[in-house]
Structure 1
Amino acid sequence: MESQRNIILIALLLVSFLIWQQWQTDKAPQPETAQSTQSSTGEDSFVPEADQASGEVPTGESPVAASRRLITISSDSLKLTVDTQGGDVVRAELLEHDKTLDSTDKFVLLSNGANFVHVAQSGLIGRDGPDGRAEGRPVYSTEHSDYQLAEGEDTLTVPMTFTNEQGVVFTKSFILKRNEHVLEVAYQINNQSAEPVQAQLYGQLKQSETDPDAKGGNMLMASAYRGPAYSSSETRYSKYDFKAVREANLNLTTEGGWVSMLQHYFVSAWIAPEDEQNQIYTRSLNNQGEAIIGFKAPLVTVAPGAEQNLSAKLWLGPKLQDEMAAAATNLDLTVDYGWLWFIAQPLFKLLQFLQSFAVNWGLAIVLTTFVVRGIMYPLTKAQYTSMAKMRMLQPKLVALRERYGDDRQKMSQGMMELYKKEKVNPLGGCLPILVQMPIFIALYWVLMESVELRHAPFFLWIDDLSVRDPYFVLPILMGASMFVIQKMSPTTITDPMQQKVMQFMPIIFTFFFLWFPAGLTLYWLVSNVVTIVQQWFIFRQLEKKGLHSKAAS
């Protein structure tokens, strides 16, 4: 085992893993592109339909009521556009996140355009629910068209009212709080009729299966998951992609739970009432190329002259793990680190802690690299020591090959006896690599999934750690560091072809890293620099003991 072989093997395994993941994404069946059935009027064209059957959730379109309009509700974090027919959120701007770097436009999470739909719907269904009426969903009344969280206030409550033919007053309120991405959607049912009222709260997210503006990963960078996901009492977190929605409707009962639509860095999620037995469902609107995931709360009965309050929470924002964990159990798992989450989560906590006093996320990545490499130093030392011992045995191994020729059985027996006699573990140089690989992959997903790195600058020309280095300086320095590691490491490779391949490896991987986000490339560069320092130090220590000098002779 050679030093440069180990470094390149780590890089090769990681790149192979990324290519495999991207291949999986590219080869997965894609939904057929469907043109939206909405008119060119954009947001104003969206009108959900109420099915006549009791308990069925509205999904489609219905005639537009004359008094219907759009209102705006704004806090310091969110700017929502709400359709007074049904009270659905048809647009959500995240005021703390720009659409693109240096853009004055804000990131739009929910929208209802002609080519792409992503809206948050909610209502009351059941026998007497206003969203279950045959004549269509209710049109709520509001005092104003624009509501804003006032200076010095921490809470903004926007009530919308609707009174049915029987005199039952339904008040739907949006409650936004300062510095929060989760809002409450609350219903008050005031039954002034002579008969009991039965209603059932629901919340659902509807999204187009195809997004014309979505950006996939390049040949090495895997695409982030976009689509439905949910959490239940039986399953902490599960993705239920568009293909699964088309093939079978999800239908399960759970205490609490949440449903969501995920995308890179951001998530929308309905959080069902925690102490209720809720139903989670999905539905495919094949004629529109759209999918729905939602929840239904239990049916409630409101006696004549009585009132009943119902509510659910709606998360609209970035994947901020601490805030999401406080908003709902397991909602932070939408930051999907894959099967290495148990390594990735501590790494993210470390990165977050270091950033808290380093301020700069790039410096936090550098410090994280130092910490990780420092923790792994005993393994690194064992790796280089094992390499040195194996090089010491090269003359004896050559002698064994000359003695036994093509007799592989005797050759293997002779090698094992030699290893046992010299107290050398032939796998000693490989074990550290096997330990390092999960850490490399986990850190890759940490840097890929962390919205904190989106539009985060490092220094000078690196103004966004989540995208590639615009001038390719970091990839070139990374390749140069790999070349230095090669030159520092003695080699016993005698085959000319293998030597040429090894010489070209830094160039090959420099090309690969040209397209990696600057944050990832920065980590790899710093890791290589630390490797160079550690290798120099360890070999110097071995030389003092006479081990490395004997191995090199």
Structure 2
Amino acid sequence: MLDFIYYPVSGIMWVWHWLFSHVTPDTPGGNGIAWALSVVFLVFTLRAILYKPFVKQIRTTKKMQEINPQLQAIRKKYAKDRVKMTEEMQKLQREHGFNPLLGCLPMLLQIPVFIGLFHVLRSFNRMGTGMGQLGMSAAETRSTGNYVFSADQVQNFLDARLFGVPLSAYLTEPVTEFQAFVTPGAEVDFTRMNIAYVVVPMMIIASIATHMNSRASVSRQPEAALENPQTRMMNNLALYIFPIGILVTGPFFPVAILLYWMSNNIWTYGQQHLVFGKIAKEEEEARRLKQEKLKANAPKPGARPDPQKKKGGAQPKQSGSVSLAKGGEEESATEADASSKTEDSPTSGAAGSKPKPGQKPNRSGAGAGPGSKKQSGNKGGKPNAKRGGGKRKR
């Protein structure tokens, strides 16, 4: 069903076992070391392949932390309109080049690898009747190949020991299946307690390593991200639930799977420090370049601003404004002369002439025309007559 996963996983493991089998002694214990190293370097190979997606995951996580306040604002603004909320959030993510899938891609890719390795390791012993098991006898399982591994290599794996126990043995394995790990008719050379001595410490180490990796990752998160309820929930899952899960499920995992888990945590711990250190240097370099650019654009200490730079762009405007002002004065003066001449002309004070629209009547020149006598008796002349009369009485 999942042969496209089982064959690549078993193929990588086969290559590493072939290499380490030429290095370690040709003994059951030596073969155990070779098989154990093949599992460890299978992990390292797969994590090296996933290195770039892991870096993208870290960068995506940092972007998520940067835009998280804006996402929270969108959630609050469109709390009653789920469609509009989704559209605005997607728009914001596109503007910042954020892809949520990249944040979980490395983890998603590790899941099929883990399932593939788990199935391949269990398939070395096919005496079980559970899922993926064929219910074979001890003799049949020792003479049946396992994907890319031949029947001889399957037998070599079953005979190999790590700390005195088989690599595919697990703590809850039925005693009847122990017969597959020895030649037919031979006495089993290990007990369930021997398996516990190896499995329990590995479970504890794997659990602690998982917690430490999660703790190192959480410590690098900004305070704003830690205030987010969803982030706090995920952090609690990574810090406590996942490590406890290893302790709970550890008795059902073969020794090689726990070895896989320990190796994976060791790689993750080193890779986190490497990637986070690299990103921190990039951010520091970006800040330094930004500061240098600001310093280059800023005036030097003690230097006075150049007045020519300030006047250079204003002089043309000033000269233009002065000329316009002068022109305006000349035009106003010309208009004033013209108006005075018009007012002084005989026709300007003619009787019955009306002032132009918006022009006030010229009272001072009213007596210059023929109708001056009549105008003196108008309302405008009454005050003068009264004042004159008053002087005569005195």
In the superposition, the TM-score normalised over structure 1's length comes to: 0.35
Q: Which has the higher contact order (CA 8 A, sep 6+)?
A: 2
More helix by share: 2
Q: Larger radius of gyration, structure 1 or 2? A: 2
TM-score (norm 2): 0.49
